[in-house]
Structure 1
Amino acid sequence: MKNRMKQIIFIVTISLFMTACHDDLNQDPIDPDSFTEQDVFVDITEAKGALAKLYASLALTGQQGPAGQPDISGIDEGASQYTRMLFNLNELTTDHAVVGWGDPGLPDLHGLYWSAGNDFTGAMYLRLAQEVSFTNAFIQNASALSDDEAQSYIAEARFLRAFAYYNLIDFYANVPLVTQITTDLPSQSSRTDLFNYVESELLEIQDLLSESNEYGRVDKVAAWALLSKLYLNAEVWTGTARYTDCVIYSENVMNSSYVINTTDANGNGSAYDELFLADNNSNGAQNEFIFALNFDGIQSQTYGGSTFIVHAATGGSMDPLSLGVNGGWGGYRTTKALVEKFDYNLVVQELSDINNALGAITDWGIVGDGTPNGWDGPDTEMFEIATNKFALYTELTDGFLKFRFNEDWGNNYGDTGADGILEAAGDNIPVTAGEYYITFDLDNLTYTIETVDFNTLLESYIEGDHRAMFYTDGQSLEIESIPPFDQGYAVTKFKNIDSNGNQGNDSSGEFVDTDIPIIRLAEIYLNYAEANLRGGGGDNNRAVSAINELRARAYGDASGNISSSDLDLGFVLDERSRELYWEGQRRTDLIRFNSFTTNAYLWPFKGNQANGASVSSFRNIFPIPSNTISTNPNLIQNDGY
């Protein structure tokens, strides 16, 4: 099992890389305490710290925690973080999300009417350009080290540079290709040239990367996985299909040591939700994560990352504590287009409904100062689960309880000797505060008091696809107007609680521990199936088997499995939605299926229309930021902007 690189994100300061861009700063600093390139690259140990900053620039936003010294100016610091912007650009622009906040430029994204001056599209461009700059500086400086390990570090930096360019190709199409530190204003490269560069880099470094690596760092399989993603989109980005190559590299990943998580650590009937819990670095999910960004509520605080996605999706009547946070921001929900893709039935959502589902209410109940109504009653009534067998889910406090019939002290049972056997008018049964499932067997005079987690319990009362993690109480499926949070189902996919129901490391509930998967094995399964269907070769039976592995995890059994006759491109697109929603994939997928801007697929408020409308095809890519265009005359704005 991989070890977590706990402190990967705050070892070096941003100034290290910024100084590398200016010739007039190639000298020793006046302040002897300053931390410079000469210090960082003095040996391989220090260079590892510099490598950490390359990962950190995708996870964090500045130099002193959540706010105060931002990497990127002109936008709220928390909003400039990579995965937060990835969500806004690739999920909010689709059927997966709407937002009620009125920040300038934010409603434009879901309405598909952004301009070249949009803060969010501009900040993503700068974030990715910064990553390219950082990686270029690292590669140049680390090349002076003679250690073999330095070559592996350089390969990781080259991967991160290729990953940044993969994003730039996707979002902006034609951008400058810069692989050396320079003060010259760069010219644009074509999307095809950029594609070829990313491909060549990944092919060159695949054997330079480690066979396996610390959790949070990339290895050889990550290069294969990014090639799989690159080739899947090749026809859109270059006009030339590369589905055969997508199949080849997807198979490489599928044959690797990464595995689909099947550990249902919290016992709620599915191992899918473990992927998005606060301990997803250790609960089994980590074995599925090929590339993930690490977050910790104490060590790496940001208002982006998982802190954003948990808080922003919480509002209305939702209990923030059940999600491990101290409050909701009341922003993001989903449209019915996502909800209706799932084959599921939310059987119950309240604890009373779960109790009612046990059976008929009876005159047997519990009484005592540890029960909800105290010694004076009335009894908290139990439900008949079988003949003379009763059960109840309830919350207890420190104290005692007994079993009693119809508030009659002439017919009560306790446990004398604390041996689990009940006696008429026996001793009071001691209990401690918590959430419990209590049973009472009248025929055998036995009982159980078992701890449960009500949040997990409520989630387990889903029939069908457990990937459908929505909060519906007080939320309408239909959205008539976007701002009210109660219109549209809330999404509870990401949580700041671990597999045991405990809150993340930050006891205040402000910052979230949950790591965010950027590439995971399930996505590669779906890549393989799609490329196979698009004529890339491979084995259709293997594609069906891979899909069924994901669906068996989602359903908890084989009831959702499909046959080869069910597997077509439309099914794959919907399955990608079900498996990967809110993970930053959707816009790219819809473009590949010619459904993002066209009228082939409409969703609520697409094109800023309640019932959805098509928009101009130039919206398939984002504009290069206006201020970047104005400062570099070598750049030409993308069509339509």
Structure 2
Amino acid sequence: MKKTFVRGFATVSVAASLLALATSCVGDLDREPFNEVTSEVVYSDPANYKPILAKLYAGLALSGQTGPSGKPDLSGVDEGFSNYIRQYWSIQELPTDEAVIAWGDDGLQDYHLMNWTSNNPFIRAMYNRLAYQISACNEYIRETKDDKLSGRNITGANLDNIKRYRAEARFLRALSYFHSMDLFGNPPFADENFLVGSGQPNQISRADLFNYIESELKAIDTELVDARKNEYGRVDKAAAWMLLSKMYLNAEVYTGTPRYADAITYANKVIGAGYALQTQNSSKFSAYTRNFLADNNTSPEIIFPVTFDGDFTKGYGGTTFIIHAGVGGDMPAASFGIDGGWGGTRTTKQLVALFPDTAADKRGRFYTAGQKLEIDNLTEFKDGYAVVKYRNLKSDGKVGKNITFPDTDFPMFRLADAYLMYAEATLRGGAGGNRATALGYVNQLRERAYGNTGGNISDSELTLDFILDERARELHWEGHRRTDLIRFKKFTTSSYLWAWKGGVKPGQAVADTRNIFPIPSTDLVANPNLKQNAGY
């Protein structure tokens, strides 16, 4: 049996590929069929449940079955492009002030120019990846129903373990449905009760999907492992609390009804779970930077990472993409622990301007030698400062185990975000929030960034606009910016402009319909139950 590995977790068997056979909203021509084994064989042995669960986690990090390429999960798109984290990072960052990319692949520049259509291949790749991941989770949850486990005579410790695995699969499905809700608004919906082969799934409204995700995350609260008690790279209760807090912070966007008190409640649960901000303990890198290095698996503030390993998760997505694509021009690749840069991603002067004192604020690290601040040409790597954040170097300066495929994990959720969500929800009037506590959380982040109290702010400076800017300073290039700008009503409007927003160098407003992406035209043809999002 062919295997690959997820660091700190378990094996991923190709037998788990049968999960992809579940019906989803991806057209048949967009899937690669795998028929090596049957579900009856795989699920009859309790020892197989954990390796198959690992496949679900690996769906966030890997693009196929062999790595780095050769047997992709999805067809119709270059395998390197099809990776979940690569596509999610791109769709969340490239349409914003935080990132531009130099490459001219068909449809890629549409992100920053904000002129995408329902035929965009990168939007389709994200949509299909989400559908694949949800389908895989559905199949696992379907095969771990109580009646099926009973019919297989699975009892005792095996039964208890499998029920915990099922809760983790439900979290992973909820995470992908959250991304679907945030990006596409009204996607197709199918859960484990949807019968494979019974037809095409129906579309669900954004508000109804919000309610479903909320109910799922609350339902698994008693079944997940306690916070900080699971194996590294696996979810626990704190990951579910974090996702709930993030949903509630954006609830007014998704449902029209604010839920800031609930955002505070769940942020408090995360903050009280025992996580701590990363500290210095290194003469080579700042405490902040240590969260984005090849040994960031030791960080006490990362709540849920997508794990990468230079030997066992080889692929051209994830942090391989983030690190390599961000290096080019005169930048020395060895300083980032890699064998060469791809000359792709940089940032706009608007992000740079959020760091008025880059010498003091250690979060604002840009490579400027040979780079222009102004972007006259989006496809010229030397136009725009490069972002120096992620590296394939350990905190002692040593290179990760593979100079092509980094060991650096992607921090999907970390404590700093919980601090900022608490502060924002408090400023927005959420019951249960305390303004002094919010100020304290913000200043903890700034003290870590500055190394002293020189960057601390006063109560009068703690405003919503400040929070939005602070989120960019703390969380840039972590896949949050598009969602944040939409929540602050600055993504499509003229209230905040950045270079080449809307296709002109000074930036311009675009239609509010761009706050969500279109359902890909290929799926509209494949599934007559779907209706296109407004404006497309």
- Indicate if the aligned counterparts of 2:15 and 2:36 stay in contact, CA closer than 8 A: no
Larger helix share, 1 or 2: 2
SS of match in other structure, 1:67: coil
| Partner SS, residue 128 of structure 1 | helix
For residue 12 of structure 1, report the CA deviation from its aligned partner: 3.7
Q: CA offset at residue 7 of structure 1?
A: 5.0
Tell which deviates more after alignment, 138-147 or 306-315. 138-147
Partner of 1:220 in structure 2?
Answer: 237
| 1:100–1:484 CA contact under 8 A, matched in 2 | yes
Q: Which one of 568, 585, 592 corresponds to residue 463 of structure 2?
A: 568
What do residues 521-566 of structure 1 show as CA deviations (whole Å, max 9, x unaligned)? 1111111111000110211111111111111111111111112111
Aligned partner of 1:233 among 234, 250, 256: 250
Given the alignment of the two structures, is residue 628 of structure 1 paired with residue 513 of structure 2, yes or no? no
Amino acid in the other structure paired with 2:316: Y
2:284 is aligned with 1:273: no
Paired residue for 1:334? 347
The answer on whether the counterparts of 2:288 and 2:363 sit within 8 Å (CA) in structure 1 is: yes
Distance 2:469 2:340 in 1: 32
Supply the distance in 1 between the matched residues of 2:86 and 2:418 (Cα, whole angstroms).
Answer: 23
Deviates more, 1:5-14 or 1:581-590: 5-14
Paired position in structure 2 for 1:430? none
Q: Does the Cα contact within 8 Å between 1:40 and 1:49 map onto a contact in 2?
A: no
1:62 maps onto 2:64 in alignment: yes
1:99-127 superposed Cα distances (whole Å, 9 cap, x missing partner): 11100000010000001011111111111
Q: Does 1:467 align with 2:363?
A: yes
Contact kept, 8 Å, 1:44 with 1:149, in 2: the verdict is no
SS in 2 for 1:464: coil
CA separation in 2, counterparts of 1:534 and 1:170?
Answer: 20
Q: How far apart, CA to CA, are the structure 2 residues paired with 1:78 and 1:619?
A: 26
Where 1:518 maps in the other structure, the secondary structure is strand
Listed as ranges, the matches of 1:40-189 within 5 Å are 40-143=42-145, 144-145=148-149, 146=155, 147-180=159-192, 181-183=195-197, 184-189=199-204
Matches of 1:591 and 1:342, distance apart in 2: 22
Q: Structure 1 residue 19: deviation in Å? A: 4.1
Q: Measure how far apart 1:20 and its partner are.
A: 4.9
In 2, Cα distance between the equivalents of 1:252 and 1:50? 30
**Any stretches of 5+ residues in structure 2 without a counterpart?**
1-5, 25-34, 150-154
Kindly, what percent of the aligned residue pairs are identical?
Answer: 51
Question: Which residue of structure 1 aligns with residue 410 of structure 2?
Answer: 516
Q: Is the 8 A contact 2:141 2:166 kept in 1?
A: yes
Q: Which residue of 1 aligns with 2:27?
A: none
Q: Deviations over 1:433-479 (max 9, x none)?
A: xxxxxxxxxxxxxxxxxxxxxxxxxxxxxx21000121111111111
The letter of the residue matching 2:255 is T
Q: Please, which of 428, 436, 443 is the counterpart of residue 534 of structure 1? A: 428
CA contact (8 A) 1:265 1:274 kept: no
Query: What do residues 571-605 of structure 1 show as CA deviations (whole Å, max 9, x unaligned)?
Result: 00000000000000000000000000000000000
TM-score normalised by length of structure 2: 0.92
Q: Is the 8 A contact 1:9 1:56 kept in 2?
A: no
Instruction: Report the residue type matching 1:257 in the other structure.
Output: G
Q: Residue type of the partner of 2:263?
A: C
Quote the Cα distance in structure 1 between the aligned partners of 2:47 and 2:451: 45
User: Shift of residue 8 of structure 1?
Assistant: 4.0
**Structure 1 residue ranges without an equivalent (≥5):** 23-32, 346-462
C-alpha contact 1:117 1:626 (8 A) present in aligned 2: yes
TM superposition shift of 1:149: 1.5
- Coordinate RMSD, CA, aligned: 1.5
Q: Deviations over 1:333-380 (max 9, x none)?
A: 0001001101324xxxxxxxxxxxxxxxxxxxxxxxxxxxxxxxxxxx
Partner deviation per Cα, 1:31-76 (whole Å, 9 max, x = no partner): xx94432343234331000100111111110111011111111111
Distance 1:129 1:344, change over 3 A: same
Q: Counterpart of 2:434 in structure 1: which amino acid?
A: D
Out of 491, 498, 511, which is 2:394 matched to?
A: 498
| Equivalent residue letter for 1:468 | G
Within-5 A mapping of 1:443-482:
463-482=359-378
Of 169, 190, 206 in structure 1, the residue corresponding to residue 221 of structure 2 is: 206
CA contact (8 A) 1:607 1:615 kept: yes
Please tell me whether Structure 1 or Structure 2 has the larger radius of gyration of its CA atoms. 1
1:338-417 mapped onto 2 (5 Å cutoff): 338-345=351-358
Q: CA deviation at 1:190?
A: 0.6
Label 1:21 to 1:616 Cα distance change in 2 as closer, same or farther (>3 A).
Answer: closer
Amino acid at match of 2:409: D
AA in 2 matched with 1:327: G
Distance 1:9 1:280, change over 3 A: farther
Q: Which has the higher strand share?
A: 1
Q: CA deviation at 1:175?
A: 1.3
| Length, aligned pairs only | 505
- Amino acid in structure 1 at the alignment position of 2:254: W
Matched position secondary structure for 1:517: strand
Verify the 8 A CA contact 2:249 2:260 in the aligned structure 1.
yes
- State the shift of 1:518 in Å: 0.6
Q: In terms of mean alpha carbon deviation, does 94-103 or 253-262 score higher?
A: 253-262
TM-score using structure 1 length:
0.77
Q: Match for 2:294: what amino acid?
A: A
After TM superposition, the structure 1 = structure 2 runs for residues 413-432 of structure 1, keeping only pairs within 5 Å, are none
Structure 2 CA distance for aligned equivalents of residues 543 and 560 of structure 1: 16
